[in-house]
Structure formats: structure tokens, C-alpha cells
Amino acid sequence: MSTSILEARNITKRFGGLTANEDVNLLLAGEAGQVVSVIGPNGAGKSTLFKMLSGFLKPSSGSVLLYGQEITGMAPHRIARLGLVRTFQETTIFPDLTAMEHVSLAHQLHRQANDLEVVLRMPRARADEAALSASAAEILELMELSPVADVAARHLPQGYLRLLGIGMGLATRPRVLLLDEPYAGLNPEETNRAVMITRKIANSGISVLLVEHDMKAVMAISDFIHVLYFGKKIAEGTPEEIRNNPKVIEAYLGQEDKELGL
């Protein structure tokens, strides 16, 4: 019997007379550590779906479950504490903070000491600092950012900032990580590196759900793919099944095959 990790049941989102998603079903089941992608042309409803899964939008109807627990309409920080964390297409950074400081700051969701203990540097606060610093160092190593750990964010190239954003997501200790266009704006070398690191994250036991336009990267990294078109899901399957699906080819008609990887 497969275990439901993340499940969307007939979720719909309407904005007045506009339906952004309609009766979308998505199931991430089985062993943890899979990479599942959501693809579709611009305006297909991918970002709206991500926002509903992560609590940034409440579905008009339908439900979202994480490990069998209803999370529909919960606040994003509550969903994050349960283990589902979303990264954003644009990484919010503090230009003068180093990579290490960014990842350490992102650990605050799991701080044990209260604010007073932190201000007074009490034992529990010092223990937090040691543990979270060690975790931050491990994450930077996983993200291949250790060489720039002490470099201010303002000096990091775009590829490193993308990885830093993912690293900050990992600092919250997710069981499911939602990546919103993690390879956008990267050159081929940076994309290949980011794809390999994404696979390393999945191999560590974290389930990854990503929205991405780079079809070459999607086909290389995905174990399973869902396809949206005008807010509805029109196909799902392995990369090979999606590549040869007539509905998917038709949905992308007019775009170059080289771009799609289909």
C-alpha cells in the first residue's frame, strides 16, 4: 500500500469570473525522495497550484493533504512546520549578509530558545546557535556553496543565489520541498549543476515538487510529471510518457521542439 505524501483533491481556484485551476488532482505517493514536476505553457495555472499547496492561497473548493493530514487553508508558516516548504522564483536576500548568515537565519523556525534567552545569551540559546551553525554548514556543503560561505550575497552570481534560496528552504527541515522555477535565468552550466544538486536533495530523503519551464532539465530530473493546460490537468506520467503524449504535444503546439524537449 503506497503512502500518500502530498495530495491535492479536486482543487479549484476562482478569481471572480476567472478560473485559474479547475478540479486538479495531484498525488505524490510511495517512497520519499522522488522528484515530481508540474509543467505547462504560460498561464496554465502552475503558480496558483503551488500557492494553494503551500497555503499562500486558499482553494475555492477541494482539499490538500500532507501525509494524510488536512492542510487546506492553513497559514504558510503552519504548513512549513508540518514539513512542506516552498521556495520562490525570486530569492529574497539581504545584500550585506553572507551565505552562511542567510542559511543560519532561515533556521529560526526550529529555534528552541525564546527571545529573552537569545538576548541574554543563555545556555539554551547558545546550544541553538551551535546546532544551527553546524546544520547551516552541512546545507552549504550539500548545495556546493561552502567556498562562498563567508561571501556577502551582493557579490554572488545568479546561479549561486538560486542555490542559496534552495539552501534557505532546506534550513527549515522540510519533508516536501516545493521549488518554483529553480533553474530560471541560469546558463546551461549552472542549470546542470542545479539539476545534480536537486537530485542530491531528493536522494537525502526529501520529496521534491517543482514547477519549471526548462524542459530539458525537467526531463532529466523528474521521476514523474503532471501537465497543466488552461488550469486543468491534461496528462501525467513518466518523462518518456509525457514526451510522447499527443495532448501534451498539442498543448505546446507552436513552440519549438528543441525548447520543449518533446
**179 and 256: one domain?**
yes
Percent of the chain with pLDDT over 90: 65
pTM, two decimal places: 0.85
Same domain, yes or no: 182 and 59: yes
Q: In sequence order, what are the residues at sequence separation of 6 or more whose Cβ sits closer than 8 angstroms to the Cβ of residue 196?
A: none
Dihedral through CA 198, CA 196, CA 46, CA 64, nearest 10?
A: -30
pLDDT, position 155: 94
Task: Count the domains in the chain.
Answer: 2
Task: Name the residue with higher pLDDT: 121 or 210.
Answer: 210
In a domain, residue 197? The reply is no
The answer to the question of residue 54 being in a domain is yes
108: cell is 529560526
pLDDT value at 170 more than 80:
yes
In a domain, residue 196? The reply is no
pLDDT of residue 54: 95
Sequence-separated (6 or more) residues with CB below 8 Å from residue 216: 191, 261
Over the stretch 45-56, which tens digit does the pLDDT of each residue have?
Answer: 999 999 999 999
Check residue 110 and report its DSSP letter.
G
Task: Give me the phi and psi of 74, to 5 degrees please.
Answer: -65, 155
pLDDT at 8 over 60: yes
| Residue 192, in any domain of the structure | no
Band the pLDDT of 193: cuts 50, 70, 90.
very high
Is the residue at 201 inside a domain?
no
Domain span including residue 112: 92-173
183 and 158 together in one domain: no
Q: Are residues 45 and 106 in the same domain?
A: no
Confidence at residue 1, expressed as pLDDT on a 0 to 100 scale: 42
Among the residues of 41-187, which ranges form H helices? 46-54, 76-82, 99-106, 115-119, 123-142, 158-170
